[in-house]
Amino acid sequence: MDTTRSSPVGTDGAEPDLQQHFDGTIARDQRIEPRDWMPEGYRKTLIRQIAQHAHSEIIGMQPEGEWITRAPSLRRKAILFAKVQDEAGHGLYLYSAAETLGADRADLTERLIEGRQKYSSIFNYPTLSFADVGVIGWFVDGAAICNQVPLCRSSYGPYARAMVRICKEESFHQRQGYELLMTMMRGTPEQREMVQDAVNRWWWPSLMMFGPPDDASPNSAQSMAWKIKRHSNDELRRRFVDMTVPQAEKLGVTLPDPELRWNEERGHHDFGTPDWDELMRVIKGDGPCNDQRMERRRTAHEEGTWVREAATAHAAKQAARERKGAVA
Ligand SMILES: CC(C)(COP(=O)(O)OP(=O)(O)OC[C@H]1O[C@@H](n2cnc3c(N)ncnc32)[C@H](O)[C@@H]1OP(=O)(O)O)[C@@H](O)C(=O)NCCC(=O)NCCSC(=O)Cc1ccccc1
């Protein structure tokens, strides 16, 4: 679509036909691409969500990353290394998607570091034993898959396409977590206790990953109308519970919710209510590890200054060399 048209008037400053074209593209379930006209609110919402998602992947490297040096075998170390590296890749991929909307990656990082942009609440909880690595794979990557598979059909092309690749890797991550836990459950009573303890600590925070309940989710209605989000927070949370309960049974662990039971009539599980005050506290910066996570991120950014400067200088030299070559 032509984005170079001038004298914008009408909704969101657009000529009515530009808005109409955008609305039609969304209604037909087609994709909006970077050069298409889009309402400013749509662009801002996408930058907000994609940036938060990217920040979550980068901060999300920390809880498991802490176990790389303490992994119980070379095999587990190699697997964990690869997983954490994948998370870095997802973050960079998502920052690139945000850049297609005119955002600047350095600016997004500044916003995160200054606490002006969010990252997922889940990464503010500590990883106390190696079983936590398995439970993060099973629950956190499992929740990420539930949330992100529908995002492969998100209306913004670059985000949807990024999700396809990311989901493939998340699927491998989830299976490695479950396999790790299966191995521990076949081990000693102490190992089985470690798994159950990790399950108890991560269950409720994992349910909170899907966001506040629908009636307290200010962004959902508009994001669903724009088909950025395809399902509501509660709907995806329910899916996650339905998917996870049989896996817990097979593994031999108990999910820490006395209200959890199959509802024959609805064809879904009933379950308890997460502590929404806790979610709000963690989002506002008052979770068990918020300060530690941000401090680590700030330090990594500062320590990486020389790398960014060297890369920029190298790119400038390369460009100058290419210009010279073109002249000769
Ligand atoms: C569903 C939601 C997260 C929130 O729905 P929305 O419609 O956007 O918002 P809504 O109106 O419902 O909420 C009101 C306010 O509350 C905020 N908030 C809500 N929930 C949270 C929360 N849990 N944590 C923190 N903040 C939260 C929300 O931003 C909003 O604040 P704002 O108005 O911005 O100031 C959506 O953005 C989404 O699907 N994102 C994409 C997926 C994504 O980012 N995934 C990340 C995990 S990646 C991963 O796990 C991979 C991995 C695995 C293992 C290891 C390492 C990596």
Q: Which residue's CA is the closest to the ligand 1 atom numbered 36?
A: 49
Is the distance from the beta carbon of residue 140 to the nearest atom of ligand 1 less than 6 Å?
Answer: yes
* pLDDT for 213: 98
Cα–Cα distance for residue pair 224/216, rounded to 1 Å: 15
Query: CB of 289 closer than 6 A to ligand 1?
Result: no
Counting Cβ atoms within 10 Å, is residue 158 exposed (0-12), middle (13-18) or buried (19+)?
A: buried
Who contacts 191 (Cβ-Cβ below 8 Å, separation ≥6)? 131, 184, 185
**Atom 56 of ligand 1 has which residue's CA nearest to it?**
60
User: Is 46's C-beta closer than 6 angstroms to any atom of ligand 1?
Assistant: no
Question: What spacing in Å lies between the alpha carbon of 212 and ligand 1's midpoint?
Answer: 9
Burial readout 259-291 (b: 16 or more C-beta within 10 A, e: otherwise)? ebeeeeeeeebebeebeeeebeebbeeebebbe
For 288-313, what is each residue's pLDDT tens digit?
999 999 999 999 999 999 999 999 99
- Rounded Cα–Cα distance for residues 144 and 280 (Å): 20
Q: Which atom, in ligand 1's list, is nearest to the CA of 209? A: 23
CA dist 16 and 19 (Å) reads: 5
DSSP character for 79?
Answer: H
Residue with tokens 């979770």: 287
pLDDT value for 328: 66
Question: Of 171, 84, 186, which Cα lies nearest the Cα of 127?
Answer: 84
Give 199-238 pLDDT, tens digit per residue: 999 999 999 999 999 999 999 999 999 999 999 999 999 9
Q: Kindly provide the ipTM of the predicted complex, given to two decimals.
A: 0.98
Distance CA 214, CA 105 (A): 31
Q: How far is ligand 1, taken at its centre, from the CA of residue 327, in Å?
A: 50
What are the per-10-residue average pLDDT scores of the chain (328 residues)? 40 77 97 97 98 98 98 97 97 97 96 96 98 98 97 97 95 97 98 98 98 97 97 97 98 98 97 98 97 97 96 96 84
Query: Which amino acid would we find at residue 74?
Result: L
Residue nearest atom 46 of ligand 1, based on CA coordinates: 53
Amino acid at 328: A
Whole-number Å distance, alpha carbon 29 to ligand 1 midpoint, is 23
Cβ of 132 closer than 6 Å to ligand 1, yes or no, is no
Check: CB of residue 218 under 8 Å from CB of residue 134: no
Contact 261, 270 (CB under 8 A): yes
Return the residue matching tokens 């890797």. Answer: 169
Distance 21 CA to ligand 1 centre (A): 29
d(CA 233, CA 229): 9
